[in-house]
Structure formats: C-alpha cells, structure tokens
Amino acid sequence: MIHRIGALARQAAMNTVLTYVGIGLGFVNVVLLYPKVLESDQFGLTRLMVSIVTIAAQVAQLGAENTVIRFFPYFRDPVRKHRGLLGMLLVFGTVVGLTAVLILGLLHPWLTEVFGDRNVLYGRYGLLILPLVFGEIFFILLRSYSRSLRRTVQPIFIREFLLRVLQMVLIMVQMWRPMPFGTFMLLYTAIFLICSLALVLDLYRTGNFVAGFSERWLPGRLRRSMITYSAFTFSASVAGIVLGNMDQLMIAALLGESSLVQVAHYAVAFYFGSVIAAPGRALHQAAMPMVADAWKRRDMPLLGELYSRSSLVQTLISGFLFLLMWMSMDDLFTILPSEYAGGMQVAWIIGMAYLLNGMMGLSMSLLSMSRSYRLDAWSSFGMLLVNAVANFFLIRSMGIVGAAYATLLSMVMLNLFRTGYLFRRFGLWPFSTGTIKVILLLSGLAMIFPWIPFTGTPLLDVVLRSAALALLFWPAAHVLGVANEFVSLVRRIRER
C-alpha cells in the first residue's frame, strides 16, 4: 500500500507542479496579455469558442474517457498490445468526431444568431470550432489511454505547459507585430491541434501507440458492461467540464449585444477563482487509475486512506490559495483594464466554490469508479439541470455575478450528495480533526491580514502579502501537525 500511495504522490506532485507552472503562464496570458492586446469582444470570442469546443467534445466522446480508465485493468496485457484497445479508441474517435463536426457545421447559422454581437465575430470565425472539436475528442481519448498506462504527467505537460507557452508566443507576436485577426484565429486554432498531435507523438515515442487490431478482444458481456457504464457516467464526465463553460455560453446567449465583452470579463474573473481547483485536478488525474484498481480488489483500507489524505491536502493547499487570492483581490484587479473590475465578486464566489469542492477530496473519483456509478451519473445530471436553470434566471437578473452564484449552488448540492452517499454506503469519510485545524487557521489569518498596512503599490503589495501569508501559514500548519502530508509530497519531489 505504501508503494502504491508513494507512486500516486510522485505523479500527483509532478502534476501539481506542472499545473501551477501552467497557471502562472495562464495568468500572464489571460490577465496581462490578452485583455491588453485584443479587444474585449475578440478576447471574449476566443473564450466562447473554447467553451463550445470543450462541451461539444465531452458530449461527443459519450463518457469514453472514464470508461477506458475504469475497464483498462481488464485489457492490460502489453504482450497482446492491450488487446487492441487503442485501435478501438481510434475508430470510435473518428466516428464520433466526424459526427460532431457535421452537427456543429449544420448548427452554425443558428449559433451565429444565438451568439450574435455587434461585430458579428462568431459568424465570421465560428467554423474554426470544427477542427478544434475533432482534435479535442482525440486528445481526450488518448489522454485517458495514457493515464491508464500510468503516464499521467505527459498529458498534463502538454495541456498545462506546452499549450500555454505556444499561446503566449502567439499573443506576444501579435503585440509586437499585429496581424489581421483572422490570421490570429487560424494560428490560435492550430496551437490546439499541435497539442493533440504532441500526445500522439509521445505515445508513439514510448512504443505505446500500437493499434493492435489483430489482438482486438471485446467479449459481449464486457462490451455490455462498458456501454452501460458509459451511458450512466456520461453526465458525470460532462458535469465537471460544463461548469464555467456553460456559464460563458449562457452569458453569450443572454446578455445581448455586449455578450462577448461580458464573456471576456467573466472569463478573467473565473480564471482567478479556478486557480483554487488546480490541486484537485492534478490529484484526480493521478488517482483515478489507482482508485479503479482498488475498487476491483475491494481494497477499502487503501480507498479510505486515499480519501482522507486527499481531503486534508486539498483543504490545506486550496485554502492557502484562496486566502492569497482573497487578500490580494483589489491589487490583482488594478492590473487589468478598469472595465474588468466588475468581475471581482465573480472571482471570490468561484474561488469559494472550488475551495469547498477541494475539501471533498477524491469523492468524485471514488463514486464514479465504484459500482454505484449510476448514482453519480444521476446526481451529476441533476447538478447540470440546477446549473442551467440557475444560470438562466440569475444571469438575467444579476449578470455575470449570477453565473458565479449558479456555479456555487450546483457544486455545493452535488458535493453534499457525494459525501453523504460515500459515508452511508461504504463508511468512507473525508474529514478529520486536521481539517478543522486548517479551517480555524485560515479564519484567523483572514481576520488579521486586512488590518496590516502595506505600501500601496499593487504589484509590490501582492508579492509582499503573499510572502507574509506564506511565512505565517505554513509554519503554523506545521506546528498544528496538519502539514505532514504536504511535506511528504515535497520530500518525494526532491527524492524524484
């Protein structure tokens, strides 16, 4: 068990490092460069297209990502090329990809009308989502295959680091020597396709890109189980990715001529808040294959240990990040053009939503990989319904702040269900006395820090305040005995 948890810790630590490097690059892109180089509606168009592509690709792959991870232990056989699983994924991806492209192409006139703005930008460039969706579907499927092979770091590197670096190069070129916006959008699209190709090359380089059609193995009983699992986990796999992306789609559809501008404002604010989600994303990426194996063996001690450790570590790290963001909010938004100031409340609400989500640890992975995946599917579908209805009414009455409240409401309801069910059904509980200590520590610092004077220079104050918080928070966490798990991760990074 120690060896397995150690392997998870190493991968989760590396994933976390790469994720936060990507967040740093994304901060430069989203906060410092895009709003100042592109017009607000042009920037909003890029965010809207990414949201459409993300949702469309998740819907098109029909829950196959989690299904591959859940059932890969039954296919694992390097000698027999994992029984042709990759070949079946490639055929499946081609079929659903072409279908998605055809449907979106036919819907383009209607989407142009729905997302119409004063500059008709979506009408001009919206068809670029077709190659983006096709490439994204293959990236999702190949990412699931790579993660099943315990190669979780490489997809994270490509999506969190390589993509952001290429985007930064593009926007800096645009700033240095402006090109027509149409040319910019073509290159912006090409960057995503390059990243999908990079994952193919990584699998090929390591000898894992082998279709194995001659070894294809899929008995009827297993096929039926996989189809049933995919059907019931479809909404669960879509739910997490829809949050934030659905918000932007509905903002674009409901706020009239200024919709793309409002999408840009919401996207920047959402980015600040979603930084809190990074530890959870990194941990889930590394943990899902291990959780699937543990459920197959009914290894409840391992599942319980993963659950409690993940909750404490995420509460510790996500709580610290939320405190950093909250205490520096005013200074951070002074960096942006003044028109973005209305998103400050959005950033706080989204940050709180992801902090509460992180405190639940691996509840999503535990439920979706268990035999109770049907309940996870229905609850996720319910969350999507709550999110859509709440968005419709709150966006119309409160603007982009309403979209943030809709996200908070739907995430809280879903996590209450998951946590309660895992406790009642399996006796799994994420919280400990360490969690209470972390919450008290965060609350104490939140009450003290607003009274501490700083220089009044925004960027300098962000640095000074972050350093002061770190110097107070982490030694206090160590004294309280709640930093042991994080210290263990740091030690494993150094050993690696």
Q: For the CA atoms of 170, 174, 177, 183, what is the dihedral angle to 10 degrees?
A: 90
Question: Percentage of residues in the chain with pLDDT exceeding 70?
Answer: 86
Main-chain dihedrals φ then ψ at residue 125, nearest 5 degrees = -120, 0
What radius of gyration, in Å, describes the C-alpha atoms of the chain? 22
Average confidence (pLDDT) over 396-419 = 89
Report the C-alpha gap between 470 and 424 in whole angstroms: 38
Label residue 167 by pLDDT band (50, 70, 90): very high
Report the C-alpha gap between 349 and 365 in whole angstroms: 24
The pLDDT of residue 188 is 94
* Chain segment 358-375, per-residue pLDDT in tens: 888 888 778 777 777 677
Report the C-alpha gap between 5 and 358 in whole angstroms: 19
The pLDDT of residue 2 is 45
For the ranges 218-227, 236-245, 296-305, the lowest mean pLDDT is seen at: 236-245
The pLDDT of residue 163 is 92
Bigger pLDDT: 474 or 76? 474
Tell whether pTM > 0.75: no
Average confidence (pLDDT) over 63-71 = 79
Whether pLDDT at 418 is above 60: yes
* Chain segment 20-46, per-residue pLDDT in tens: 787 778 878 887 788 888 888 888 888
The residues, ordered by sequence, that sit 6+ positions from 253 with a Cβ below 8 Å of its Cβ are 114, 115, 259
Whether pLDDT at 496 is above 70: no
The pLDDT of residue 270 is 84
Give 93's DSSP letter. Answer: H
Ramachandran class of 212: left when φ > 0, alpha when ψ lies in -120 to 50, beta otherwise: left
The alpha carbon dihedral of 135, 139, 141, 145 has a sign of positive
The answer to whether the CB of 141 falls within 8 A of the CB of 92 is: yes
The two structure tokens encoding residue 371? 């035999």
